[in-house]
Amino acid sequence: MSQSTQIKADWVPKGDLQEVKDPEWLFHEAPRETEFITGSEAAREAIRRANVDIAISYPITPQSETMQQAGYLYDEGYIKDYYRGEEEIGVMSAIGGASRAGVRALTATAGPGLMRGMEAISSWPGARTPLVLMNMCRVINTPLAIQPDNIEISFLLNTGILHAHAENQQDFFDYTLAAFMVSEEVDVTLPAVVSVDGFFVTHARGQVSMFSQDYKLPPRDGWRNAVPSMDNENPPARISRDSPIQKSNFISYHMHASWQQEVFAAVERSAKYWRKYLGDLIEVINPDAEIFVVSSGACVSQAREAVRQEGEAGRKVGLIKIKTIRPWPKVEILAALKNAKKILVPEFNQAGWLHKELCSTLYGLITAEIIAGPRVYGGMSMPTEIILEWLAKARK
Amino acid sequence: MLDVKRYNVRMAGLGGQGVVTASHILSNAVVISKGFSSLVPFFGSEKRNAPVESYVRISNEVIYEIGEIVYPNVLMIFSEQVITLGKSYTMPFYTGLKDSGVVLINNTKPIKFVPDETRELKEKGARIYYIPATQIANEVAKTELATNMCMCGAIAAILGMPDTDSLKASVKDRFIGKGIVVSGGTAALDSVIEKKFAKKAKLLQANTDALMAAYQYAVDHKWGVHAESEEKTVAV
């Protein structure tokens, strides 16, 4: 398919026919049309409009459909370069290299693939490589399963990577586009992960409102980086063997520590840019409630239904949706929960990483009981009935 | 106006029967009729005759929930093997079924359940309907591949949603698709599409006929909303 189209002399890449628009206009003002599509298709439509220079793929369920769709986008000329890597260490290393070259880079993976690529992935933030990784959450532990369980997010929390957690197909479209813009801001210059719970969102259809595909984001300006792209043949911090820059032929702990501090400061600085595109980093429903449900990702949808059913029964339950896990919206969360008496934290994983994050934010600052659950894992979706049951228990 | 707020439908069948397609057709039809719907399929390695489940939520109100339906109020069983051979991810097949739930089974005659199953289904007040969907598909569309269409037609008649026009539009979306409308292509390309279109139009007609035949079957048997006496609703 691609051979015949790409070699034609008069072939014009469709991406070249798109018009670059101001991203804020695209997010907030551009007319939008709604389509009923799967999460993978929503991802494709985001990629189509993201002015991507290079995408590197490696298949893994439930991510494969998305990067297969990205292949079609390459064929049509919406992505300038695209190939399938050998496996995830290779893919994650290569995409980091692509970003260092100064182009807009995209990849995607899921659960076990993320784990395999983890060495390379965790080297991205320190190398200050803006890029976007779409992560379709999937069980990683043995016994093998392919259903969504978002424990993998806990492995990324302390890497210095920006991380947004999409609730539904609409979020997957919006967050992905926002992620490119935020990650490439000069005082951010960091990779971004957009996670979504696999299958429940990727393989399910939902309403997605999108601006026209005739528009695209502005291209990446390769020179707008916090630091020069780190070229390992000419590394910026390996010019001197003297203390305090170097210790033996490795970087000294002074340098490494300050480098890390700067990475994590950049994560915090990114908040203002996320807000520019996504509004507040949390969404609050029933702010004056005494009992709250705090959640992220697809679990928020289940919590919405629980809150709706409680409302029908005449009981007010609050809901907080956390859009970005990194930066962690500490101040907003604290403000929203200052009068809460009980807080439920439903999650799609065994570890309860969201509960732990919340506890460290709220410890000593509010008096509410922070209930560790309910949790489902191994790929089960959270039945609304379980949240309702836990709410009833919490009220007693 | 529907007084029932939402139906949570769990479909179970065998790989190759079009269970996932059926869920898309039903879901899409509800959206076409200005309702709300979400769905998610569940299957292991994609192979014929292996268990397949698909979960569809349909409602005349906004739907927030997603993912697997653990507590359905509607079950659609595409093959008796789901029950008799246990070809299912959910055993027994009615696990989690809410009280007064609807069970639509593709079979020519009632299935003989084991005593415990009979008792539990009775306790739940399950309303079980048997439709010879494969038989109707063979007779009307001349292929058992239209079994899934018959299941969609019958459940729509039982639930009173989606309406038949939306169902037909949804089947059309499946076979003709929005994207195949000719858009400035060359003449050669047009003729290829036309040829394909003619074949697809034929397929579409056969599938629509099967769907409508099953719909009529359910109406004739006075199932669900077509019952003479007021049947209890199965709202969540």
**ipTM of this model?**
0.73
Look at residue A248 in the predicted model and tell me its pLDDT. Answer: 64
Look at residue A230 in the predicted model and tell me its pLDDT. Answer: 61
Per-domain boundaries in chain A: 8-216, 282-395
**Rounded to an integer, what distance in angstroms lies between the CA atom of residue B132 and that of residue B147?**
9
Which position has the higher pLDDT, B198 or B202? B202
Beta-carbon separation of B67 and A308 below 8 A: no
Q: Are B95 and B68 in contact (CB under 8 A)?
A: no
> Is residue B91 within 8 angstroms of chain A, CB to CB?
no
Query: pLDDT band at residue B177, thresholds of 50, 70 and 90?
Result: low
Look at residue B4 and give its three-state secondary structure. Answer: coil
Question: If contacts are CB pairs under 8 Å, which of residues 22-41 in chain B contact chain A?
Answer: 24, 27-28, 31, 37-41
- Amino acid at residue number A112: P
One of 3.40.1260.10, 3.40.50.970, 3.40.50.1110, 3.30.230.10 is the CATH number of A8-216, namely: 3.40.50.970
Of A112-121, B61-70, B157-166, the one with minimum mean pLDDT is: B61-70
Which position has the higher pLDDT, B13 or A146? B13
pLDDT(B72) > 60:
yes
Q: Architecture of B6-226 per CATH?
A: 3-Layer(aba) Sandwich (3.40)
Fold of the A282-395 domain: Rossmann fold (3.40.50)
CB neighbours of residue A155 within 10 Å = 16
* Strands annotated E in B44-165: 51-59, 74-77, 102-106, 127-131
For chain A, report the end-to-end CA distance as a whole number of angstroms. 63
Q: Are A204 and B40 in contact (CB under 8 A)?
A: yes
Q: State the greatest distance between any 2 C-alpha atoms of chain A, in Å, as a whole number.
A: 73
Chain B positions touching A206 (Cβ under 8 A) are 38, 66
Which position has the higher pLDDT, B15 or A18? A18
Beta-carbon separation of B64 and A308 below 8 A: yes
pLDDT(B183) > 50:
no
Question: Which of B39, B63, B68 comes nearest A380 by C-beta?
Answer: B68
* Residue B142, CA distances (Å) to A308, B7, B203, B211 in order: 46, 31, 11, 13
> Is residue B65 within 8 angstroms of chain A, CB to CB?
yes
Look at residue A251 in the predicted model and tell me its pLDDT. Answer: 75
Look at residue A242 in the predicted model and tell me its pLDDT. Answer: 60
Look at residue A19 in the predicted model and tell me its pLDDT. Answer: 98
CB neighbours of residue A52 within 10 Å = 29
Name the percent of chain B in helix, strand, coil, to the closest 5: 45, 15, 40
Which position has the higher pLDDT, B156 or A243? B156
Chain A positions touching B29 (Cβ under 8 A) are none
**Rounded to an integer, what distance in angstroms lies between the CA atom of residue A212 and that of residue A243?**
55
pLDDT(B234) > 70:
no
* Residue B33, CA distances (Å) to A299, B36, B58, B69, B211 in order: 28, 9, 11, 23, 17
Beta-carbon separation of B70 and A204 below 8 A: no
**Rounded to an integer, what distance in angstroms lies between the CA atom of residue A179 and that of residue A132?**
7
**Rounded to an integer, what distance in angstroms lies between the CA atom of residue A264 and that of residue A160?**
6
pTM for this entry = 0.87
The phi and psi torsions of A357 (rounded to 5 degrees) equal: -60, -45
Look at residue A255 in the predicted model and tell me its pLDDT. Answer: 81
Pairing of strands A282-285, A317-322: antiparallel
Query: pLDDT band at residue B32, thresholds of 50, 70 and 90?
Result: very high
Look at residue A9 in the predicted model and tell me its pLDDT. Answer: 75
Chain A positions touching B39 (Cβ under 8 A) are 204-205
- pLDDT tens readout for residues B140-155: 999 999 999 999 999 9
Look at residue B182 in the predicted model and tell me its pLDDT. Answer: 29
**Rounded to an integer, what distance in angstroms lies between the CA atom of residue B84 and that of residue B95?**
15
Pairing of strands A342-344, A291-295: parallel
Chunk chain A into consecutive blocks of 10 residues (it has 396) and report each block's average pLDDT, rounded to whole numbers: 58 96 97 92 97 97 92 96 96 96 96 96 94 96 89 96 97 98 97 95 90 98 80 57 63 84 97 97 98 97 95 96 98 96 97 97 95 93 95 95
Per-domain boundaries in chain B: 6-226
Beta-carbon separation of A301 and B27 below 8 A: no
Sign of CA dihedral B197, B199, B202, B208: negative
Q: Which of B44, B118, B56, B48 is nearest to B83 (CA)?
A: B118
